[in-house]
Structure 1
Amino acid sequence: MKFPSSLIISLLSCALTGQLIAENAKPNIVFILADDMGYGDVQCLNPERGKIETPKIDQLASEGMIFTDAHTSSSVCTPTRYGILTGRYNWRTRLQRFVLYGYDKPLIAADRLTVPGLLKANGYTTACIGKWHLGMGLPEGEPNPIITDGPTTRGFDSFFGISASLDMPPFAFIDGDRFTQPLTTTKKWQRTGAAAADFEAVDVIPTFTRKAVEFIGAQAKTEKPFFLFMPLTSPHTPIVPNKEWQKKSKIGSYGDFVMETDDAIGQVLDALDDAGLRDNTLVIVTADNGCSKAARVPAMEKKGHFPSANLRGLKTDIFEGGHRVPFIVRWPDQIKAGSRCDETICLNDLMATSAEIVGATLPDNAGEDSVSILPALRGKPIPPQREALVHHAMEGDFAIRQGKWKLILCSHSGGVSDPKYNSVKATTLPENQLYDLDNDPGETSNLQASYPEVVAAMTKQLEKIIADGRSTPGKPQKNDAPIKMRKVHKTQE
């Protein structure tokens, strides 16, 4: 594969800087991304209003650090994944609402530095095992095509997984740049499409888990550090817990699927322990957005389980329940067990954090919306490098967060919760929503009329972040497409 000269220069710069750190001092990095798991779905984060047992994640928290104010860059999955791997907001690209599908073209540009690309240039073996959902060169209608522009062209040495969500065709495992079996039949999990004969949704989480355990075991026999990105397909739809997990949670199949997800995470942690890699491995367990409406939330709430804890909203929404997520880390060599951080962070911060870990300096055209949280992992304050944090809803609506203040630049949820983005009710409400999250984390009292100066200042700040092409110090960059700060939605009666 031929890389653009600009990317080669960036990688060489990163690699040369990274040589300042001894190879054996670089930690392994395991980033596990649950799919549609709410902040309140983790027992230790929601002890009073959570009814799902998550012993493995809870144990991880007791051995490491809980971040209480961690956010995805969007309240739906493709945009968040883009932010994780590039350190840049998705809305700077062509994708300014909704998500990609299984046959869509790549969202990450070929010449953009990614987290695996950065780490690979600094001596890491990089692997992605799980749900990609960032587009690839996948010809539709061919039973067994060669796949181009997939994860192995965006910094990963290897990839085993599926192209998009588990309810999006094609329904088949991909190993590198080929399907493990040709697409010879048609299947349906909410959506209907081409499938491999032996592919079953219920087998996906066990297969990903086994592959991850095997990868860790193999890497333990080498001298190289590794980066494992493990984006799971659960507890996203189709909600298909295996037989051994069915009826375990007592609140329904979604709870069962969360418990199976917790167990899968536990198996990966056990593999690190068994391989003797525990102490010098940074493990991050988080989610790509909040719990989905498809989980039958009202029924769970009647049984006492609130997947967003005390937060408002769900997946797709601009409210906190849409994008504030579990974020639990363990790194025994660096992180004090049982610690907690209340600073506001974003999943985009993986890029800058990885760069600081390996001693690399990011070029101006990489990680434009990423800040290193390495100081926080070591129990120190994060330097004020980011102007503010920007949130994004499924329908493209914006919010901006600075300190205790959160300004939402629309009258509605931006997603599935009331007031919906296309509802008549939304037309009767103020065009801005301002919340004091220190005193009102549930976003119940709109203070926009009482603090017009805060609304004006934060609006201006968001305008600057959009115009500068970045939210961190550095040379201004260009966005990939024009950006409308306020969206106009058609009202449905």
Structure 2
Amino acid sequence: MKFLITALALLGLTTLGGAIGKPSIILIYADDLGYGDLSCYGAKHIKTPHCDRVAKEGMRFTDAHSPSAVCSPSRYATLTGRYAWRTWMRNWVLLEHMPLLVETERLTLPKMLKSQGYLTGCIGKWHLGWGSKINPDFSKEVSPGPLEIGFDHFFGPAFSHNSSLKLQNFVRDRSIVGLRNGEDIENPSVQKRLARKFEDTAIDLSSEAVSFIRKNRDKPFFLYYPTTNIHFPITPNKRFQGKSDAGRYGDFVVEFDWAVGEVLRTLDELDLAKETLLIVTSDNGGRPDPKGMGKKGHNPNAPLRGTKRQIWEGGHRVPMMVRWPGKVKPGSTSAETVCHTDLITSLASYFDYPLPTNAAEDGYDILPVLFGQEQKTPLREATVHHSVNGMFALRKGKWKLIEGDTDGDFRPRNKAWKESAKLPKRNPVTGKFEPFLYDILDFDQENPVFRLYDLEKDPKESTDLAAKFPDKVNELRELLNRYRSSGRSTPLPNYKKPK
């Protein structure tokens, strides 16, 4: 029996509930960390030894994608396995006054892990909305929020690193930290007293993350750790200033790398490294900071075209490293196309957890890649990309089809934009929010222009091949339309892939 368990473990065929036990799981989700920001991905002016260590001791992906080119949609999709454009939020990101985007009845990654006996925590940037109505009252406990979608504990900024003074504070579970009974968070003097220091935020979050690991060392835990680095404002703590050759931006990346190192150090100290699955990745591509990049020309998304928010590869192809001792081969590299929506499906597969048909509609099982099993064909049929203003692209194999003739970025906020920026409304019958477009679509949706790129030969997306391969354009266009209309892009659960 012992021999059988060992053999199965080597093949990656045991389940988390099996004889080898349940590893703790840590997902470090950087904010705006670009494909070219880490030295293990080619950065020359920034040294990131701790992220490099994760890559050296695990698998580094060269074709991993965030579900969106911006924050909120990627976070929704990562926790649910479902693209966020299927919700009422059809473009842009959530603003401070908007309600919780994740449906409380939906299966999420933390809910699934709780069902397997895990203690779950979210420490870091939330940016998925609070409450069930517009303008939630933060002067008292606010729900639904992180705890209602499966987390046992939450600590972090309610919104983002660039919060207004009203939410430039920390929330623990459902309440603003330090807010006294009877105080009104709308009061400017209260806001100033509770405001966190931007330059100390990463250190404060790291302390909480380390504390969470220490406190729960004797039980399986899931720590979702969405950092505020590298999102603007670029505010590295003094101890990290001047630590890179890429200006304050590079120093902010160094600070993020330090936070990764604190997790690694804690796991080593507690002898938990061998029992922990660690994933380090980013919610979208990098956002160049012209005033803080230094004089040596660091490109956050090198060698890709485009930046955060855009439909180009630089908007959504991101660094991703997975360390899983005994499962993932150290120092390995994968060119498999994967997406963050695959995380929940892969862990469900590892648990042998039966996913319902209304869950993880856009996630694939990537365990075969992680476990080093040879793949003759891509695991994913195709992957949908989405920009800040709602532009779509579809990736299938080496081909990428873009629906529209712009970069998918938002445009200057003129009067027309202000007219379009109305609040989402509830359907009086269903009680759910109606589909909502926050930004102007600056391309023709009725008769869109399609662009086609061969990423194998043209990774910088410089040569449009749509006119040369019209049949391929039609094939990918039909597949994209099917994905959008059918409600899912993956086979139904229990589907057995033909050998």
Q: TM-score range by the shorter chain?
A: 0.7 to 0.9
Report the counterpart of residue 176 of structure 2 in structure 1: 179
The answer on 1:308 being equivalent to 2:301 is: yes
Report the counterpart of residue 223 of structure 2 in structure 1: 228
Any residues of structure 2 matched to 1:318-337 within 5 Å, and which? 318-337=311-330
- What displacement does 1:251 show? 2.0
The RMSD of aligned alpha carbons is: 2.8
The answer on 1:471 being equivalent to 2:489 is: yes
Alpha-carbon contact 1:336-1:378 (below 8 Å) kept? yes
Deviation readout 1:47-80 (Å, 9 max, x if unpaired): 5xx3111111011111111000000110000000
Any residues of structure 2 matched to 1:83-122 within 5 Å, and which? 83-122=77-116
Deviation readout 1:66-95 (Å, 9 max, x if unpaired): 000000110000000001000000010011
Structure 2 CA distance, aligned partners of 1:87 and 1:258?
Answer: 28
- What displacement does 1:19 show? 8.8
Q: Which residue identity lines up with residue 365 of structure 2 in the other structure?
A: S
Aligned length: 446
Alpha-carbon contact 1:76-1:289 (below 8 Å) kept? yes
Deviation readout 1:473-493 (Å, 9 max, x if unpaired): 118xxxxxxxxxxxxxxxxxx
- Secondary structure in 2 aligned to 1:332? coil
Structure 2 CA distance, aligned partners of 1:474 and 1:163?
Answer: 35
- Secondary structure in 2 aligned to 1:39? coil
- Secondary structure in 1 aligned to 2:321? strand
Report the counterpart of residue 246 of structure 2 in structure 1: 251
Report the counterpart of residue 201 of structure 2 in structure 1: 204
Structure 2 CA distance, aligned partners of 1:165 and 1:24?
Answer: 39
The answer on 1:26 being equivalent to 2:22 is: yes
Report the counterpart of residue 375 of structure 1 in structure 2: 368
Structure 1 CA distance, aligned partners of 2:47 and 2:338?
Answer: 26
Structure 1 CA distance, aligned partners of 2:129 and 2:190?
Answer: 17
Alpha-carbon contact 1:35-1:235 (below 8 Å) kept? yes
Deviation readout 1:186-205 (Å, 9 max, x if unpaired): 899xxx99455352222211
- Secondary structure in 1 aligned to 2:223? strand
Report the counterpart of residue 352 of structure 1 in structure 2: 345
Deviation readout 1:421-454 (Å, 9 max, x if unpaired): 9899999x98111110001100001111100000
Structure 2 CA distance, aligned partners of 1:123 and 1:187?
Answer: 42
Alpha-carbon contact 2:99-2:135 (below 8 Å) kept? no
Alpha-carbon contact 1:31-1:283 (below 8 Å) kept? yes
Alpha-carbon contact 2:366-2:379 (below 8 Å) kept? no
Q: 2:278 aligns with which of 283, 288, 300?
A: 283
Deviation readout 1:137-180 (Å, 9 max, x if unpaired): 18858563111111011001111111111112311111111111
Alpha-carbon contact 2:240-2:255 (below 8 Å) kept? yes
Structure 1 CA distance, aligned partners of 2:327 and 2:49?
Answer: 23
Percent identity, aligned pairs only, is 43
Structure 2 CA distance, aligned partners of 1:422 and 1:437?
Answer: 29
Q: Which residue identity lines up with residue 53 of structure 1 in the other structure?
A: K
Gaps of 5+ in 2: 1-13, 413-438, 494-499
Deviation readout 1:382-441 (Å, 9 max, x if unpaired): 6756431000000000000000000000111001699xx9899999x9811111000110
Structure 1 residues 386 and 65: CA distance shift in structure 2, 3 A: closer
- What displacement does 1:20 show? 8.2
- What displacement does 1:22 show? 2.8
Deviation readout 1:188-237 (Å, 9 max, x if unpaired): 9xxx99455352222211111011111111111x2x31110000111101
Which TM-score applies when normalising by structure 1? 0.85
Structure 1 residues 353 and 155: CA distance shift in structure 2, 3 A: same
Which TM-score applies when normalising by structure 2? 0.84
The answer on 1:35 being equivalent to 2:16 is: no
Structure 2 CA distance, aligned partners of 1:381 and 1:120?
Answer: 32
- What displacement does 1:300 show? 3.5
Structure 1 residues 386 and 342: CA distance shift in structure 2, 3 A: closer
Alpha-carbon contact 1:172-1:196 (below 8 Å) kept? no
Report the counterpart of residue 356 of structure 2 in structure 1: 363
- What displacement does 1:96 show? 0.9
Report the counterpart of residue 403 of structure 1 in structure 2: 397
- What displacement does 1:270 show? 1.0
Structure 1 residues 277 and 395: CA distance shift in structure 2, 3 A: same
Indicate the larger mover: 398-407 or 165-174. Answer: 165-174
Structure 1 residues 460 and 204: CA distance shift in structure 2, 3 A: same
- Secondary structure in 1 aligned to 2:143? coil
Deviation readout 1:277-320 (Å, 9 max, x if unpaired): 10121100000001114x228x7485131111110000000000
Any residues of structure 2 matched to 1:15-164 within 5 Å, and which? 21-22=17-18, 25-47=21-43, 50-137=44-131, 140=135, 142=137, 144-164=139-159
Structure 2 CA distance, aligned partners of 1:186 and 1:176?
Answer: 20
Structure 1 residues 171 and 218: CA distance shift in structure 2, 3 A: same
Report the counterpart of residue 464 of structure 2 in structure 1: 446
Indicate the larger mover: 409-418 or 24-33. Answer: 409-418
Structure 2 CA distance, aligned partners of 1:415 and 1:380?
Answer: 38
Gaps of 5+ in 1: 1-17, 476-493
Structure 1 residues 203 and 139: CA distance shift in structure 2, 3 A: farther
Structure 1 residues 119 and 424: CA distance shift in structure 2, 3 A: closer
- What displacement does 1:24 show? 5.3
